[in-house]
Amino acid sequence: MNLGKNIIQLREKAGLSQAEFARLLKVPQPNITRWESGAITPSIESIIKIAKALGVSIDEILLTENEREKLEPSNHALLKRFKSIEKLPNKDKETLIQFIDTFLKSKK
């Protein structure tokens, strides 16, 4: 687990500075620095706040990509597609869900 590096990468991917991230989480900015450097570990409550603020799962904060892949189902291609679908606008997601539901009903 490299919690600090994961927080840095996810924060930067979201386009947030440490100060902006601290304001978003309502924590002192030095906390962000300490979390990212590994000087302190955020509480579980803080990890949940981080995940919600960045729109990611807790495992994305806590685990490396390799660690997550070991825990995920063996069909990585399908999982990657679902993750891509999650990023689509709601209208597109609803259309895909309707299509999938219809397809699955036809296979019963």
- CA 60 from chain centre, in angstroms, equals 5
**Mean pLDDT along residues 91-99:** 89
Give the start-end residues of each E strand in the chain: none
- Looking at residue 51, its pLDDT comes to 93
**Mean pLDDT along residues 62-70:** 79
What does the alpha-carbon distance between residue 48 and residue 56 come to, in Å, rounded to a whole number?
A: 10
Residue 73's pLDDT band, with cuts at 50, 70 and 90, is: low
- Looking at residue 21, its pLDDT comes to 97
Output DSSP code: residue 28. -
For the entire predicted model, the pTM comes to 0.64
> Is the per-residue pLDDT at 60 higher than 90?
no
- Looking at residue 25, its pLDDT comes to 96
